[in-house]
Structure 1
Amino acid sequence: MTTMRVRLPAVLALLCGCLAVTGGPPVTATPFTATAATTAAPVPTASPADSLWFDGAPLTVRGGRLTDGQGREIVLRGYNVSGETKLEENGGLPFASVADAEKAATALRALGGGNAVRFLLSWAHVEPVRGRADTAYLAAVTAQLRVFLDAGIRVYPDFHQDLYSRHLFTTGSWYTGDGAPEWAVDAGSYPAESCGICFFWGQNITQNAAVRQAQYDFWHDEHGLQDAFLATAQATMAYLREHLSAPEFAGIAGFDPYNEPYAGDYDSGQNSRTWERDLLWPFYVKFRARMDAAGWQDKPAFVEPNLFWNANISTQKQEGGLLDAGTLGPRYVLNTHFYDQKAISGILMWGKAADGRYATDFGAVRDRAAAAGTAAVVSEFGHPLSGTVSDKAPTVLKAMYQALDSRLPGARWWSDPAASGPVLSGTQWQWDLYNGRHHEPMNGNPGKVRTSGDAWNDEDLSAVRLDDSGHVTLRQDARLLDRLYPSATAGTALAFTYEDRSRDGSDTLTWNPVPGSLPSVARLVGAGRYGLLVWRSGSGTAPTELHLPASFPTGSTTVVSDLGTVYAPPPYTAATPVAVAPEPGGTGSRRLLLGDTDSGVLHYALVTDGATAPPADLLNAARSELAAWAAAHF
């Protein structure tokens, strides 16, 4: 791979006429040219094992799966970084400092098991004055984003919005928004915002006339709002392209153009499907052109359908999913969110989630992506960790991760594994270091300083917080968050399951026990955790990789595979078919590497922490059972 930075004089020259770049207040017009670039920090030299993940080639879509430059199927797992971007206390940045970003990235790898982040950006802070981008903000964004890339974490930026803009709301409002700058709100003549009787902030989407009209204006490019946003997006992408080194830029997975799009109001005779066809999809086509012009030609746009297309409450659900966009192909990824609104409501779901609760919901995501000829990512999912429904969180989140891993409930997985479907990429909402420690004057009101939870509309979903010593600590069960998953499959993943044995209070949740028909496998796993991947090899030479949770010490990890049976896998070498290596970034996280030299061959690998020094006869018996099981089902 080359380390030379690609210059974009032609692209940047185009921007000079539509969006100037400035260095923060006071704002002055400065030409946006390549000569304004600064040298990016050097990337530490990668070891051979490091290069297996960041191989210098962009991710692309092949056969409906994300793939790397070595043809391996890639699964992105991680978190949104972070809702702090919605707040003003740190100027619309995810972190107060680069040091905090480094702390978050290290913990995200070592404690959260993530290999990817959705990195939130603020239109309001990129373009505080119309037609001028703030380079001070962009430089700070780039410095914080670079930290994650250097930790071996893939990044896809997201221009985030909720309720269009905080500038629609007054200092006395019950709620707030984020996204569009003040000048964009001033351009419209919007009524005083009011949600009426609203128990959840999301009701503003359909009940607040100011929010609805502002969104409507954006999609119809009233006052040139959409064109201004697209110019800002292009300037942002060009800045990142220019200020990241080639190896760093290779770690950018794509771009999420617009968070949770919805119509605001429909035109006469319009519905959710025709709105997607006539307004949302053309916007994505324009955004895709801006990506190309900014030097992002080889990276996909992570496009979100209408917010309500896969809602799990029938009164909210709307037809959509970009049904009329045709085959999306490798230049787009189907990007959706999922929250269990029934569980969040507190009244529409009694009890807790159970095995297979979201199999149908996430199956619909897989089916829609397959029909569109592309890959899928669930870029937001989660559940409140405080309040009246927080008791559901352990089971709701376990069921969501189960549905990301497989479209089958545990009760069906062993008997019908071929129906498991592709392993979905996903980023949980969210990873906010400052949870419970904010100091956010809501809508600029010094009398309404928010400190608790996520400090935004009473939300509290962060998986982490800082303890009193300043250390990052998990707020959820580590067994749930730091998971075994196939980060890179050399070929095609046919089936995957992971029994995490996560806790709901003092109860261990076991939804996928090894069946009695595999007694040696069941004995080997015992009461421990296990994951099982079945794949068909491809034509490349790079190994399959699975993330190993921090609580899976190498010395107590057992692997049973057609490639070999190993207790305490050895360090990686190219000649070792089952081995362990550090994950890139120096955070201490590890991965299991499974090497094969064939093509089109069925392989399987069981990984468990349930055994202590298992005897050879038990390993061989388990291998025989798995071989017979795989042959019977694939």
Structure 2
Amino acid sequence: MPNIRARLLAVLVVLCGLCGFLTVAGSPAATAATLPGSLSFDGTALTVSGGRFVDGNGREVVLRGYNVSGETKLAENNGLPFASVADAKKSATALRALGGGNSVRFLLSWAYAEPVRGQYDTTYLAAATAQMRAFLDAGIRVYPDFHQDLYSRYLFNEGSWYTGDGAPQWAVDLGGYPAESCGICFLWGQNITQNGAVKKAQYDFWHNAYGLQDSFLAMAQQTMAYVKQNLTAEQFAGVVGFDPYNEPYAGTYDSGQASRTWERDVLWPFYVRFRARMDAAGWTDKPAFVEPNLFWNGNVSKEEGGLLDAGTLGSRYVFNTHFYDQKAISGILMWGNAENGQYVTDFGTVRDRAAAAGTTAVVSEFGHPLNGNTAGKAPTVLKAMYQALDSRVKGVTWWTTPAASGSVLSGSQWQWDIYNGRHHELMNGNADKLLTTGDAWNDEDLSAVRLDDSGTATLRQDARLLDRVYPSATSGTTVAFTYEDRSRDGSTTLTWNPVPSTLPNVASLVGSGQYSVLVWRSGGGAAPTELHLPASFPTAATTVVSDLGTVYGPPAYSSTTKIAAAVEPGGTGSRRLLLSTSDTGTVHYALVTNGATAPSATLLAAARTELAAWVAQKVG
């Protein structure tokens, strides 16, 4: 969550088809006639290999989506993301069709899973699994997360200014903690390092006082075993892994200890124990999504860390981190809006840390408040964050140095809560504190979605920003990628990556439209490279210029098409672009745009010539 950066807060005192087909150059692709991914996902589980998420067809996979949902922090639906499976299905369909997501971080609650020590609430687990299933059946991959903030809501009382979530009441009762008090706290995150009750409770958990960590791990194993047993094999294939613990922090360091040594001596051994519980529950082939000390990459408050002493994580773990712009959220430390390339260094650090650890990375939370004093920064902050997920090169220099683009990062925006603005939460059980607005939790308001008066899911942010082109599965290795979303800041169109004047035909083809460019090195697999097509890219009006050919209005997939369109799995109506190759080690490229209207064959050919020369010069 955006306010977790407590040190900052102390400084102060989130198928159309054939009618539009023009021309496809090149020989037929040697791919199977049966479209991969006709079932949910591609019918295979993801693994971690070579520092990438890889599917069963050997393709490099990028996860994009949202956190589902902060509703889990509330009591109104008993620690579940949704009031019903029907609502979960509505949310999943909207997330895929409106938000362009192919994955979710799915929040779970220890308090509701184990309300009595040693007794697991199978009614809660059944309901959570059924809601998870709604996303899996919509073709959306899932990684569950045992969520906590400020350790537990039971540390707080009816008169408290703030609240928490996570540990059950029995765990709090064991500690005999002092009355919570944050002193002069303007935002909830200050409680992490200023509230004595929160600090002591966190310390006790990490030191396994009263066997608290033992109980948590036993509960986690039971939960994972239950989920596996109550999903089909195909559904379970869509479960990517598990996030053991949200935003870990020591509470208080021992004498002579600092962030890095705490990660080494306390946090990492916990993850090793959790990993063993995953194995015991039948999750052996799925990675643990492990988070470092939450302050390791703050852009104001920072502590040394990033699991530097954990060695090579490899295929058993994913480097999992959050990023919020503390300066932008403060309203004081960053005047004005975010700029082109603002976060490429921050997200580059995430890429580098994961690479050094021998694994892949996911930014499992990022975002910015949509209400309050700094809400006006959200359009540029979020655009800059997505830009940095896509590439480590800012837009103004991308066309000049595409080979420095790096891997495309997986990420889950905070958050996707269809109940935004329609909650009915009694804060800390206080009947005089009925919360209905925003996220109904500590004055936050970050959900990208809400239900309108008719009960229809509708976006609260610019669809051009959220529903994006991205390479969901690459047959080979991504060399460079960019997406110019042309999202808006009020009435201003934000164009941070214009096509350069040195490519006049490409610029003419794109015009004022959205576009993406993918450059990849083929891996020889039979399954095609796939890019998500946003709703703003109707099939009949999508143009593709590639070394594989040129197409206006990609046709339906067949064994003879190198460039084609198909529906995404899950029945939500969303679509994907398929690029088929059969070679190994060849550099391929594809420009995808919605800016052209029935472009001429001459313009398509000229744009292709320009792109081919650009790739040869800049990538080789």
> TM-score, normalized by length of structure 1?
0.92
1:104 is matched with which residue?
91
Counterpart of 2:230, as a letter, is: H
Instruction: Tell me, in whole angstroms, the C-alpha distance in 2 between the residues paired with 1:270 and 1:227.
Output: 23
1:241 is matched with which residue?
228
Counterpart of 1:583, as a letter, is: E
2:125 is matched with which residue?
138
1:331 is matched with which residue?
316
1:38 is matched with which residue?
none
Instruction: Tell me, in whole angstroms, the C-alpha distance in 2 between the residues paired with 1:300 and 1:118.
Output: 14
Q: What is the deviation of 1:58? A: 1.8
Instruction: Tell me, in whole angstroms, the C-alpha distance in 1 between the residues paired with 2:347 and 2:136.
Output: 29
2:252 is matched with which residue?
265
Q: Deviations over 1:155-201 (max 9, x none)?
A: 00000000000000000000000000000000102111011111110
Q: What is the deviation of 1:56? A: 3.2
2:458 is matched with which residue?
473
Match of 2:393 among 401, 408, 415: 408
**Greater mean alpha carbon deviation, residues 459-468 or residues 624-633:** 624-633
Q: What is the deviation of 1:574? A: 2.4
Answer yes or no: is 1:307 the counterpart of 2:294: yes
Answer yes or no: is 1:463 the counterpart of 2:448: yes
Q: Tell me, yes or no, if the aligned pair for 2:46 and 2:55 is still in contact at 8 Å.
A: yes
Match of 1:198 among 178, 185, 196: 185
1:47-446 aligned within 5 A:
48-51=35-38, 54-313=41-300, 316-446=301-431
SS at match of 1:198: coil
1:533-572 aligned within 5 A:
533-572=518-557
Q: Deviations over 1:546-579 (max 9, x none)?
A: 0000111011100000011000000111221000
Instruction: Tell me, in whole angstroms, the C-alpha distance in 1 between the residues paired with 2:406 and 2:362.
Output: 14
Q: What is the deviation of 1:433? A: 0.5
1:615 is matched with which residue?
600
Instruction: Tell me, in whole angstroms, the C-alpha distance in 2 between the residues paired with 1:412 and 1:209.
Output: 48
1:23 is matched with which residue?
none
Instruction: Tell me, in whole angstroms, the C-alpha distance in 2 between the residues paired with 1:519 and 1:245.
Output: 52
Q: Tell me, yes or no, if the aligned pair for 2:146 and 2:243 is still in contact at 8 Å.
A: yes
Q: What is the deviation of 1:48? A: 3.6
Q: What is the deviation of 1:62? A: 1.3
Instruction: Tell me, in whole angstroms, the C-alpha distance in 1 between the residues paired with 2:361 and 2:38.
Output: 25
Q: Tell me, yes or no, if the aligned pair for 2:115 and 2:168 is still in contact at 8 Å.
A: yes
Q: What is the deviation of 1:621? A: 0.6
1:585 is matched with which residue?
570
> TM-score, normalized by length of structure 2?
0.94
Counterpart of 2:578, as a letter, is: L
Match of 2:591 among 606, 610, 619: 606
Counterpart of 1:319, as a letter, is: E
Instruction: Tell me, in whole angstroms, the C-alpha distance in 2 between the residues paired with 1:318 and 1:574.
Output: 53
Q: Deviations over 1:521-545 (max 9, x none)?
A: 0110011000000000002110000
1:625 is matched with which residue?
610
Answer yes or no: is 1:500 the counterpart of 2:481: no
SS at match of 1:601: strand
2:10 is matched with which residue?
none
Counterpart of 1:566, as a letter, is: V
Instruction: Tell me, in whole angstroms, the C-alpha distance in 2 between the residues paired with 1:575 and 1:123.
Output: 51
Between the two structures, name the one with larger relative contact order (CA 8 Å, sep ≥ 6).
Answer: 2
Q: What is the deviation of 1:54? A: 2.3
Q: Tell me, yes or no, if the aligned pair for 1:49 and 1:581 is still in contact at 8 Å.
A: no
SS at match of 1:133: coil
SS at match of 2:93: helix
Q: Deviations over 1:364-405 (max 9, x none)?
A: 000000000000000000000011100000000000000000
Instruction: Tell me, in whole angstroms, the C-alpha distance in 1 between the residues paired with 2:556 and 2:370.
Output: 39
Q: Tell me, yes or no, if the aligned pair for 2:228 and 2:282 is still in contact at 8 Å.
A: yes
Instruction: Tell me, in whole angstroms, the C-alpha distance in 1 between the residues paired with 2:575 and 2:45.
Output: 23
Instruction: Tell me, in whole angstroms, the C-alpha distance in 1 between the residues paired with 2:579 and 2:427.
Output: 51
Q: What is the deviation of 1:130? A: 0.1
Instruction: Tell me, in whole angstroms, the C-alpha distance in 1 between the residues paired with 2:139 and 2:469.
Output: 17
Counterpart of 1:395, as a letter, is: T
Unaligned runs of 5+ in 1: 1-46
Counterpart of 1:89, as a letter, is: E
Q: What is the deviation of 1:61? A: 1.1
SS at match of 1:50: coil
Answer yes or no: is 1:512 the counterpart of 2:497: yes
Counterpart of 1:371, as a letter, is: A
2:16 is matched with which residue?
none
Q: Tell me, yes or no, if the aligned pair for 1:169 and 1:176 is still in contact at 8 Å.
A: yes
1:448 is matched with which residue?
433
Unaligned runs of 5+ in 2: 1-33
2:471 is matched with which residue?
486
**Greater mean alpha carbon deviation, residues 389-398 or residues 51-60:** 51-60
Q: What is the deviation of 1:52? A: 7.4
SS at match of 2:584: coil
Instruction: Tell me, in whole angstroms, the C-alpha distance in 1 between the residues paired with 2:292 and 2:503.
Output: 43
Q: Tell me, yes or no, if the aligned pair for 1:155 and 1:252 is still in contact at 8 Å.
A: yes
Identity %, equivalent residues = 78
